[in-house]
Every structure is written in structure tokens, then in C-alpha cells.
Structure 1
Amino acid sequence: MRVNSNTKARTRAAAGLTVAALAAGATAGAGPATAQPKAAPAAPAAADCSAAYRIEQKLSSGTTWRMCWRYDGKAGLVLEKISYQPKGEPKPIRVLNSARLGQIHVPYDDGSVEYDDLTGFDFAQGLMNLAPGECPGGTIKTVKVPDSWNEDPNVKGLCTTTRSRGHAYRMQGDTANKVFQAQGKDLLVYTVNQVGWYEYMTEWRFQDDGAITMNVGATGSLSWDDYDAGDGRGWPIGKGASAKATSHSHNAFWRLDFALDGSTKNKVEQYDSTVSAPTRGQRAPTTKTKVTKVTKELAGDSKAYRWWRMVSATGKNKDGHARSYEIVPGVTTKYPGRSYTKRDLYVTQYNKCELFASHNPGNCGPGAGKSVDKWVNGQTLTHPVVWMNIGFHHIARDEDQQPMPVHWQGFSIAPRDVTAMNPLTPAELNWQNGHWRPRR
């Protein structure tokens, strides 16, 4: 993705947007397009924003997701006031105050350059127009891009649609001819932003079982400016060794501001399990899990048998268990080259100034620093904010040209005790909550 200057990248992105806008016939005017598909019927406790900025989708399984959206001049798409209502729940359950990217940091292996795409390379201004075929069965919303260098700042760039994800569950019943199975459905929300030679697909998948998966997919082109890598810092992609693409990393950060059951006073817990060899009289190794209540800001690392959850301070499910969301890290290659990329997860006390994991533009107070690692200073957590870091080391290959296949990186948050049973449980199995033997 490297280019020689900000100006060059800006020119390429602007040209791409202009051509795409003409091809897509983008409409003029501020804010969302005036011609919108029919809105979903208003539901009780719908997301508190105007219809133009509301996303509401009831999936075929009965689950409804509601949220508001806005477009930030640096972060791009921001989703706010996100709630989840599975069938059987009388009202929506608030999950997040806001969810968005927190940075995409791109250092090159030869040490020649590194980029902070959100705060330093006009990520938001590179929002791309989407062709109708890129949002099958869905709606493409028009976004007004702040500080756009385009003649028309209105970009048809936000897709909301639904997707199948395969089996949600499968279970053989008590009789051979009875199989319980269901195909899972997701609400998919995504944008495409061009930065230099790369195009970033930022997608949010809201599953009918309550999980949320967030991914960044890099596609577009390899930068022809960087076909000059030295030994050990690139990969030959042309005839012989005539062109070596310089290797680089993509360190993507997400910022999640939880508000479980409508309250930001959530609690953080860390779980660590230890496996011990069998002792005399035991047939197998034993495993014991320890919970640590995280009361102060945290810089944490993923490891085997470790996980975290955000716990509601106010809400419980029908079994009387505190609602929570578990953080499920994706595959990552942690980059040790910068202090803020050395850890997988940060939990900080909310500060409206702390918006980006690196090169944060705001002055957040004396000694606060410009990166997330500097904000972890022992404050007591009363309004915790989660920062997740997922890295990818891109060593190019012949198949990366041309165009480059999407390579994804991301993570999920999964409901833990948000509902008393699987929210997709078929009616004839509802009685089995806590029961281990067939009903007589």
C-alpha cells in the first residue's frame, strides 16, 4: 500500500471515488439519500435516532438487531446504541454504546515507512461507492463524507443486508428420524475505504444467536512502488526476481464502548485455566479455572486457556445469571515493533478524548500520551472501554496480483448468559433448561 506521499495517495483515492460516483450515479445532497427503501415498521424501544440513520433488521429466526450509524471524519463508520432482541425477550437488550475501528497501523519490513491509516492517511475520505451487485438483497445508504475532497461528498457507500452463515446448530433427537437443525442468519453492515493502493472492507456481522463479529479485509492492489525489497524483507512476484514486493504488517484496532442493559458501569473479568497432570488415583489430567476481577485498567495478552468477559452491572437473564459478553480473539500476528502493538487487549477508563489507538489527535491531558498503552495507568474502571488489537503480517505471493484477494483479520464478542438458553432453541426443547434426563 506504500506510496511516495500523502498527496499521491489522496489523488489516487479521489480519482477512484469520482469515477465510481459517476458509474454508480451517486445523488447529490447532504446526508442520507432521500430515496430510501421502505423502512421496517417502527418497533417498541427502537434505536433512538432518525429513520435515515437507523438500522433495524428482524432475521428469519426471530432475532432483531437495532442500531444507529454515523460517519466520522477519521474513524469512518461508527455504530451506536446497538441492541439485540431474540425471540422470547419482551424488549431489546442493549449491548454497546458504540463500536468502530480504533486504528489501522501499517509498518513496512524494511523500516522505510509506517502509516496510521485512520488518523494520518485519510481513511474516512476514501469511502467508495458500492455497485448494486455488491449489496445483494440489501440496501445501499448514501453517506455524506466529512472534509471530502470530492466534488460530491455524498457516497453510496454503506451496505446493510443479510447473509446465511451455515449451521447454527445440529442435534440428533431421541429417535433416529428426528434431527434438530437450523441455518444461521446474520445482519451484515459494511463499507469499503480506499487508502493508497489498498481497499479496506470493514464489516460487522450481527448474528441471530447474539454474537457480533467484526472484520477488516484488505484487498485492492499491491503497491508497485514497493517492488524493490531486499533479501528477507519481501517476496518475488514477477518473472524471476525482477520484482520483490516489500512485506509489511496490518495492525487493526477496534474500540468497543459497552453498555450492557443500558448501563456503562460494566465489570470486567479475566478467566485463566490450568491443566495439571493426573495424580495418583486419577484417570486423566485435571483442569481448574480461576476468575480474576479486573478493577483497574488492563493491558492484556491472549494465551491458551485465557479469556475475558464484560459483565452487566444491572441485568440478569431469566435464570438469574448476570448477562455478559465474552471477548473471542481471532487469529493474530502480534507486532512487537511499537509499544502500543505489543499487547492484544487494552481496557481503559472512558475518556472522550481517547479515540484512536495510536497517533490520537486530541490532547488528553498532561502526560496522557498519544497511544492506548499510555492510557493504562491504574485508574479504577467504572466505565470500561475495550481496545482489541489483531495483527496480520503480509508477505505477498504471486496470487496477490491482480487484483489482490481479500485477506481478513478480526474477532468476535459472544453472548454469555444473555439469555437463559440458546436463543434459537426450538419450542419442543424449551423444557430442557438445566435438565439432564428426558422428561417422562
Structure 2
Amino acid sequence: MRVNSNTRARTRAAVGLTVAALAAGATAGAGPATAQPKAAPAAAADCNAAYRIEQKLSTGTTWRMCWRYDGKAGLVLENISYQPKGEPKQIKVLNSARLGQIHVPYDDGKVEYDDLTGFDFAQGLMNLAPGECPGGTIRTVKVPDSWNEDPNVKGLCTTTRSRGHAYRMQGDTANKVFQTEGKDLLVYTVNQVGWYEYMTEWRFQDDGTITMNVGATGSLSWDDYDAGDGRGWPIGKGASAKATSHSHNAFWRLDFALDGSTKNKVEQYDSTVTAPTRGQRAPTTKTTRTKVTKELAGDSKAYRWWRMVSATGKNKDGHARSYEIVPGPTTRYPGRSYTKHDLYVTQYNKCELFASNNPGNCGAGAGKSVDKWVNGQALTHPVVWMNIGFHHIARDEDQQPMPVHWQGFSIAPRDVTAMNPLTPAELGWQNGHWRPRS
């Protein structure tokens, strides 16, 4: 939540001076983090060591990428690729990945915020304590046009994390169980906006999946305990203090470059389930593919999914590499035109950077939000915008401090490798039509 309009300016100034971190132990794991205090100039596309993230996970997959810090978007990851074991070289996935906006409208209709372009999200980068980056490295970020006397913030954590079972399979007999624990590269920052602290988290799994999350934590705003219009939720004893409910509509912007080419193809899949007819024992399901050749404003629904397909690369089985888009739980906000859809695919335009309140001049009549950019252009360089909404109706347990509430989505490899990249060598022969070994 924010402070009200009378104290907002003071809060913004405080953000620029804040050096406090979230409580230690916000992330799981063990071991100290190592700070690297030296700040460097902005990274080039082929970034130098100060802006390079490279991690070989214990299960054999190596992730590589560059990072930079934008004055509005905050953390931007670029040239993202991975190399599973058994692959001869890195497989590029994305040109860039970053937040595209955090839109926060309040239920009483009095205020709404575009946190990235209207409320100085990037300026609120927080210093991280070593305990918040267990076993990893805290890198120093130079915040552009910083309000602080020292623009250098120890604010970027890179570490690894176990995520539990990657798979488990018992063989033909009880004598052998195949199982392994999955490992992730975790990259994250914390940005303070008003009373909120946003944790922007990127998880790069050893199986090639990328998960992006925004977690909101910090405090409820005591200045907002005034929801006298009947829309708020009572906080504390009795009903004298009511917190104003609001939405968080988080957008991400993904510029794909599968196998190094931006000429990717978009496909939508829909399935229909038909009741059993005479002679059938169960319902039937039919899946159809639609090639998306022009810009799209898409809505998630049961039995619908999308994938981005490489124009140039195939796996060892001869199948086109692709990434499937996997939406997370969402509450779609119908109040603004740009939040009425879950997914947008637009033709690349270097000035189309933020899903709402876009500051760039994209030409006469272009509009300032992503919905205005879906105007029938052919997709030769598609860019994906994902919108995940959360309606925050506060509760007593939100104080104090407020537990993190997460929203996000994933992109998952589909036919990038011929088999599970974590397949043990003993099972490597079981590709395709499995049959008992003779």
C-alpha cells in the first residue's frame, strides 16, 4: 500500500535515502554471501565480467546471461542462454527479459499507480544483507540518476537453490529408484515503493525452465486505514481501522531469440473435450493448432496454451525447438484496457517498453499502453507481454511485517532437447518407442 497524497512526496524522498534490508533469512539455504562492491559502467551486449552471470548447476546445466540496471525498469537480463549436459553448445533463449510495469489501482477509485514509470520503482533499489543471499554473491548496482549521494547499492543477489524433486522413477523392480533433486540459479533484487517492498525474482532451472515472480512485502500503510466507503477490510481490534483494498497488475516483457534468431513463430493450441459417444468408454479430446501471424491480445482459458517456436533450431530428434508459456494464478483486472487480457504479442519496436504509461514517443497515434500496439502488424520479431494480476484484500496477518504474496509465470522448454536434460546415463537409450532391453 501507499501513503496518501499528502505524505507521498516525503515517502519518495525516504526511499532514496533508505539503506535498510529485508529481514535476514528471507531466502532458504546455507552459507554466507560474498559482496563485490566495485561498480562498473553500463554493460554492452557482450558484457564484461562485472555484468556477466554464469552458473553451472550441480546437475550439469550451465546458465549464462548479462545484466544491467535500467532507470525505470530496474533489473534487466539480456542474452540469456543455457547449456544442458550432452549439448555441444549454449542454446540461446531470450534477447532480454524484464518487468514491463506494476499497475496498482485502489478499489475506492481515488488513486492508481504505475510503479515503474510513475513512482520511481528503480530508485528504490535496496541494499541486501549477506543473510538474504545465502551461498551466493551480492553485486553492486549503480542506480542511474540516483537520489542518493552514493548511487552504488549492494542490491543484486545471485545464488543457487534446491527446488526438491526434479523427477522420481522406480524401475521394473524395486531394486532401483531413479531420482534427483533439481537445482536453480536464483537472481533477484528488492525495490521499495512507498510502504511496499517488491522482490523481483528470476529462477533458472536445470531443466531449462525460467520462472519469473514478483513478491510484494513490507508494510501496510497506516495512512490507508480509512476505507470508510465500505470496501476496506478491518485491521486490528474492532472495525475502526480498515485497509483499502487494491490490485497489483504485474507485466513482464520478454524478447525471445531462440537459437539466436528473433524470427520466432507463435502458435496457440486449443483443445475441446467431447462427451463419449456410443461405443466409447471415455470422453475424447481434440487439440488444434493456430499459427499466430499477426499481433495478438490473448486470454488464458482451460485447455489453451501458447508456445514460441524457433525459426532456425532443431533438437537431436529433428523437432523444432520451442518454449511454452505457462501462466500462473491470476485475477484479471477489468478496469483498464491494457489489463483486460492475459497475454499480448506485439511486433518489436524499440520504444514500446512499458505496458502502461509508456514514456517513449512511439509515433503519432501509437498510444501509451500495450493494448494500443496490437494493431494488426505481421509478427516477424514477436515480443511477449504477460499480465498476472493479484487483488489484495488485506487481512490481520498482513501486519507486521507483511508476508510476501507472489505472482508470476514460467516459460518451459518444449523439444529444446531430445530427452530430459537431467536423464541419467543409464536411461539415455530410452528415447522414443520404449521397449524392454533384450
- For normalisation by structure 2, the TM-score amounts to 0.94
* Equivalent-residue separation in structure 1 for 2:314 and 2:31 (angstroms): 39
What SS class does the counterpart of residue 19 from structure 2 fall into?
A: helix
Percent same amino acid among aligned pairs?
95
After superposition, what is the alpha-carbon deviation per residue over 1:102-147, rounded to whole angstroms, capped at 9, x for unaligned? 0000000000100000000000000000000000000000000011
**C-alpha displacement of 1:34:** 12
Instruction: Tell me if structure 2 keeps the 8 A contact 1:10–1:196.
Output: no
Q: Which moved more, 1:72-81 or 1:276-285?
A: 276-285
Distance 1:256 1:41, change over 3 A: closer
Q: Distance in 1 between matches of 2:307 and 2:356?
A: 24
Match of 2:197 in 1: 199
Contact 1:3 1:9 in 2 (8 A): no
CA RMSD of aligned residues (A): 4.5
Q: Give the gaps of 5 or more residues in structure 1.
A: none
Given that residues 328 and 407 in structure 2 are in contact (C-alpha distance below 8 angstroms), is that contact kept between their aligned partners in structure 1? Answer: yes
- 1:402 to partner: Cα distance: 0.3
Q: Distance in 1 between matches of 2:417 and 2:96?
A: 22
Q: 1:84 and 1:416, CA in 2 relative to 1: closer, same or farther beyond 3 A?
A: same
What is the aligned partner in structure 2 of residue 342 from structure 1?
A: 340
Instruction: Tell me if structure 2 keeps the 8 A contact 1:59–1:187.
Output: yes
Kept in 1: contact 2:29–2:134 (CA 8 A): no
Tell me if the contact between 1:202 and 1:217 (Cα under 8 Å) persists in the aligned partners.
yes
For 2:326 and 2:82, the matched residues in 1 are separated by 18
Question: Once the 2 structures are TM-superposed, how far is the Cα of residue 242 of structure 1 from its aligned partner?
Answer: 1.1
Alpha-carbon distance between aligned partners in 2 of 1:288 and 1:26, rounded to the nearest angstrom: 45
Structure 1 residue 238, shift from structure 2 partner: 1.6
The alpha-carbon deviation at position 14 of structure 1 amounts to 3.5
Q: Is the 8 A contact 1:30 1:154 kept in 2?
A: no
Paired residues of 1:40 and 1:57 also in contact (CA < 8 A) = no
Cα distance in 2, alignment partners of residues 50 and 17 from structure 1: 30
Aligned pair in 2 of structure 1 residues 270, 19: CA closer, same or farther (>3 Å)? closer
Q: Secondary structure of 1:21's partner?
A: coil
Distance 1:13 1:319 in 2: 57
- Report the alpha carbon displacement of residue 166 of structure 1 after superposing the two structures with TM: 0.3
SS at structure 1 position matched to 2:144: coil
- Secondary structure of the structure 1 residue equivalent to 2:38: coil
CA drift at 1:230: 3.0
User: What's the CA shift string for 1:154-180, capped at 9, x where partnerless?
Assistant: 000000000000000000111112100
Summarize the Cα distance change of 1:29–1:4 in structure 2 as closer, same or farther, 3 Å threshold: farther
- Indicate conservation of the 8 Å contact 1:297/1:377, yes or no: yes
Counterpart contact for 2:35–2:137, Cα < 8 Å: no
Mapped to 1, the partners of 2:45 and 2:200 lie a distance apart of 22
Q: Deviations over 1:384-424 (max 9, x none)?
A: 00000000000000000000000000000000000000000
Per-residue CA deviations over 1:237-293 (Å, capped at 9, x if unaligned) read 121001000000000000000000000000000000000011111111000000000
Q: Distance in 2 between matches of 1:26 and 1:432?
A: 41
> For each residue in 1:288-341, what CA deviation from the matched residue of structure 2 results, as whole angstroms up to 9, or x when unmatched?
000000000000000000000000000000000000000000000000000000
CA distance 1:123–1:37, shift in 2 (3 Å): closer
Contact 1:140/1:156 (8 A) holds in 2: yes
Aligned partners of 1:6 and 1:121 also within 8 Å:
no
Q: Is the 8 A contact 1:10 1:122 kept in 2?
A: no
Deviation at 1:435, TM superposition (A): 2.3
Asked if structure 2 preserves the Cα contact closer than 8 Å seen for 1:17 and 1:129, the reply is no
How far apart, CA to CA, are the structure 2 residues paired with 1:388 and 1:339? 14
Q: CA deviation at 1:2?
A: 2.1
CA contact (8 A) 1:330 1:390 kept: yes
Contact 1:248 1:394 in 2 (8 A): yes
Asked if the contact 2:108–2:229 (Cα under 8 Å) also holds between the matched residues in 1, the reply is no
Task: Return closer, same or farther for 1:418/1:28 CA change in 2, 3 Å cut-off.
Answer: closer
Please show how residues 33-182 of structure 1 align to structure 2 within 5 Å.
Answer: 36=36, 48-182=46-180
The change in CA–CA distance for 1:296 and 1:132 in structure 2 (over 3 A counts) is same
Contact in 2 for aligned 1:54/1:66 (Cα 8 Å): yes
Give the C-alpha shift of residue 48 in structure 1.
2.4
After superposition, what is the alpha-carbon deviation per residue over 1:44-90, rounded to whole angstroms, capped at 9, x for unaligned?
xx982100000000000000000000000000000000001000001
Partners of 2:130 and 2:32 in 1: CA distance:
16
Q: Size of the alignment, in residue pairs?
A: 438
Structure 1 residue matching 2:34: 3-state secondary structure: coil
Query: How far did residue 4 of structure 1 move?
Result: 2.9
In structure 2, C-alpha distance between the alignment counterparts of 1:116 and 1:25, rounded to whole Å: 30
For 1:41 and 1:179, the matched residues in 2 are separated by 50
Contact 2:18 2:126 in 1 (8 A): no
SS in 1 for 2:123: helix
Going from structure 1 to structure 2, the CA distance change for 1:215 and 1:248 (only over 3 Å counts) comes to: same
Rounded to whole Å, the distance in 2 between the matches of 1:27 and 1:92 is: 29
When residues 27 and 234 of structure 1 are mapped into structure 2, their CA distance, relative to the original with a 3 A threshold, is: closer
SS of the residue 2:259 aligns to: helix
State the Cα distance separating 1:234 from its structure 2 match. 1.0
> Alpha carbons of 1:18 and 1:237: their partners in 2 closer, same or farther (altered >3 Å)?
closer
Q: Which piece of structure 1 moves more, 224-233 or 397-406?
A: 224-233
Contact 2:15 2:192 in 1 (8 A): no
Gaps of 5+ in 2: none
**Residue 11 of structure 1, CA deviation:** 4.0
Q: Cα–Cα, structure 1 residues 127 and 247, in superposed 2: closer, same or farther, change >3 Å?
A: same
**Aligned-partner Cα distance in 2 for 1:181–1:104:** 39
CA distance in 1 between counterparts of 2:129 and 2:241 reads 33
The 3 A distance-change label for structure 1 pair 366 and 178 is same
